[in-house]
Amino acid sequence: MTKRLYYEDPYLRETEARVLGVREKTGKTWVRLDKTIFYPEGGGQPGDRGIIEGDGFRLTVENTIEEGEDIWHVGRLEGRKPKEGDIVRMRLDWEWRYENMRQHTGQHILSAVLKKLYDLDTTGFQIFESHNKIEVNGPLNWEMIEKAELEASRLIIKDIPVTIEEYKYLPDDIVAILRKHVTKVKGKIRIVRIGDVDVTPCGGTHVRSTREVGLIKVLRFYKKGKNLWRIEFVCGGRAIRKLNELLRDYWESLEGMPNKNPPLRERVKELRETMKGLEDRIDELRHELWRWKGEALLGRAQEVGHYNIVTLVEKWDMKNAQAFAVDFVSKNPGTVLLLASEKYVLFVRNEEVPVSMKELLQRVIDELGGKGGGTDNLAKGRVEADPEDVLEVAKEKLRELLEA
Ligand SMILES: [Zn+2]
């Protein structure tokens, strides 16, 4: 069993402990101690990070994990392997932990305000490195969010103490005012009280006063499902970092616009319209090009009976070439277009031509080697020969098939 010092004093950053167990798992070293100031991942709050040092070794703790009554410190080991009975000195990554405490307390305030103002219940909570999220039963809009943020800010400034009470059995007067019901708990039930703002069961770590939260800022909210809305928010020092990241993104994006005046969403709309215009123009030009190219090809078509054979060594990529070829034969009855590049061959016919392109390609492959397939109207693949030679052979085979 590991004694949880973070419950007695969440501000304790350094202490000594004794090693109870050591194991190697998932490529990391896991150390179990008789007591710890490291909070283990749980209740939406991430596990603590920091350093555990003993005589001849140092563990850089990347995560802290709870297993029943035990708490494991998981990380990278330098030096010798610790052994049972070793005395170690442990030191928290205080910025990480303190910010998590600010986020966690901020969540209590935000959830309490959403309950008070709109009767919304918080069902899920998770702290991430860059932001936090909660899930509530919506609906929500920006006016509601702003009102809630202003109310939260008022509570923060009031410097309301955050206190912890522990109960073996919850008295009825406490049960009556809980924001959230108690779910399964091992041992004592911890109740977190923020003055008369919020009384809720919680196993996380919190700051001493609402003032320490600093700032609560909602970043975004969206509907996740029927009666389920997600709110992303951020508190404390992370709020400043996150807002700067978003504002930098905003202003730098605007700086990159032809017209640099806000709002950005208007500029994006303009760019979209410009793009649409350009795409339409490209399409017009493409069809113009196809028309000229088609005329030039027809000019040197070879007639076989009622049919026209057109050959072309192409540099376009297959997608463009195929779009052109399909358009070309559809406009020219009785025509076959045999197209070859360094990378592919493409045979396309007008439906009036009584020869299968798939069969034609197979005959060319049988003679020159390669692979491919398709339908009666269109066949494509790779042939192991120079494009000019492929077209010569294809033309020969097509002639045979047409004259048969
Ligand atoms: Zn909490």
Q: How far is the CA of 180 from the centre of ligand 1 (A)?
A: 11
Tens of pLDDT, residue by residue over 327-357, are: 999 999 999 999 999 999 999 999 999 999 9
List, in sequence order, every residue forming a beta bridge with 246; answer none if it has no partner.
none
Per-residue pLDDT, 169: 83
What secondary structure letter does DSSP report for 162?
E
In the structure, what pLDDT confidence band is assigned to residue 184 with cuts at 50, 70 and 90?
low
Tens of pLDDT, residue by residue over 70-118, are: 999 999 999 999 999 999 999 999 999 999 999 999 999 999 999 999 9
DSSP 69-109: TEEEEEEEEEESPP-TT-EEEEEE-HHHHHHHHHHHHHHHH
Q: How far is the CA of 43 from the centre of ligand 1 (A)?
A: 8
Per-residue pLDDT, 168: 85
Cα separations in angstroms, 271 against 249, 250, 266, 277, 279:
17, 16, 9, 10, 12
Q: How far is the CA of 106 from the centre of ligand 1 (A)?
A: 9
Q: How far is the CA of 122 from the centre of ligand 1 (A)?
A: 12
Q: How far is the CA of 202 from the centre of ligand 1 (A)?
A: 5
Q: How confident is the model over 291-316, as a mean pLDDT?
A: 93
Lowest-confidence pick of 165-174, 191-200, 203-212: 165-174
Tens of pLDDT, residue by residue over 294-305, are: 999 999 999 998
Q: How far is the CA of 219 from the centre of ligand 1 (A)?
A: 20
Per-residue pLDDT, 178: 85
Q: How far is the CA of 234 from the centre of ligand 1 (A)?
A: 15
Helices 94-118 and 142-157 meet at what angle, rounded to 10?
Answer: 120
Read off the amino acid at residue 40: P
Q: How far is the CA of 206 from the centre of ligand 1 (A)?
A: 6
- Mean of the per-residue pLDDT values of the chain: 94
The answer to whether residue 177 scores a pLDDT higher than 90 is: no
Tens of pLDDT, residue by residue over 236-250, are: 999 999 999 999 999
CATH class in words for 3-92: mainly beta
Q: With contact defined as beta carbons under 8 Å apart, do 89 and 16 qualify? A: yes
In the structure, what pLDDT confidence band is assigned to residue 222 with cuts at 50, 70 and 90?
very high
In the structure, what pLDDT confidence band is assigned to residue 183 with cuts at 50, 70 and 90?
low
Domain spans of the chain, in order of start: 3-92, 98-254, 259-298, 300-403
Question: Rounded distance, CA 341 to CA 385, Å?
Answer: 10
Q: How far is the CA of 89 from the centre of ligand 1 (A)?
A: 27
In the structure, what pLDDT confidence band is assigned to residue 185 with cuts at 50, 70 and 90?
low
In the structure, what pLDDT confidence band is assigned to residue 180 with cuts at 50, 70 and 90?
confident
161: burial class by Cβ within 10 Å (0-12, 13-18, 19+)? Answer: exposed
Residue 55 CA to chain centroid, in angstroms?
43
Q: How far is the CA of 107 from the centre of ligand 1 (A)?
A: 7
The answer to whether residue 187 scores a pLDDT higher than 80 is: no
The answer to whether residue 121 scores a pLDDT higher than 90 is: yes
- Which residue bears the tokens 């800010």? 153
Instruction: Tell me which of 394 and 179 has the higher pLDDT.
Output: 394
Q: How far is the CA of 235 from the centre of ligand 1 (A)?
A: 14
Q: How far is the CA of 105 from the centre of ligand 1 (A)?
A: 6
Closest to 36 measured CA to CA, from 67, 8, 78:
8
- Which residue bears the tokens 């049988």? 366
In the structure, what pLDDT confidence band is assigned to residue 217 with cuts at 50, 70 and 90?
very high
Q: Cα dihedral sign for 37, 41, 44, 49?
A: positive
Q: Which helix (H) or strand (E) holds 167?
A: strand 162-167
Helices 357-368 and 387-403 meet at what angle, rounded to 10?
Answer: 130
The answer to whether residue 174 scores a pLDDT higher than 90 is: no
Classify domain 300-403 at the CATH topology level: Diaminopimelate Epimerase; Chain A, domain 1 (3.10.310)
Q: What percent of the chain has pLDDT over 70?
A: 99
Q: How far is the CA of 19 from the centre of ligand 1 (A)?
A: 29
Question: Rounded distance, CA 147 to CA 365, Å?
Answer: 73
Q: How far is the CA of 243 from the centre of ligand 1 (A)?
A: 24
Q: How far is the CA of 284 from the centre of ligand 1 (A)?
A: 62
Q: With contact defined as beta carbons under 8 Å apart, do 179 and 199 qualify? A: yes
Per-residue pLDDT, 142: 97
Per-residue pLDDT, 95: 97
CATH class in words for 98-254: alpha beta
Q: How far is the CA of 63 from the centre of ligand 1 (A)?
A: 19
| Cβ count near 62 (within 10 Å) | 15
Tens of pLDDT, residue by residue over 19-46, are: 999 999 989 999 999 999 999 999 899 9
Closest to 114 measured CA to CA, from 182, 197, 192, 190:
197
Strand pairing category for 35-36 and 3-4: parallel
Q: How far is the CA of 31 from the centre of ligand 1 (A)?
A: 26
Q: How far is the CA of 205 from the centre of ligand 1 (A)?
A: 6
Per-residue pLDDT, 239: 97
Residue 394 CA to chain centroid, in angstroms?
50
The answer to whether residue 171 scores a pLDDT higher than 90 is: no
Hey, what are 74's tokens? 């998981």
Q: How far is the CA of 402 from the centre of ligand 1 (A)?
A: 82
Q: Cα dihedral sign for 18, 20, 22, 25?
A: negative
Q: How far is the CA of 101 from the centre of ligand 1 (A)?
A: 8
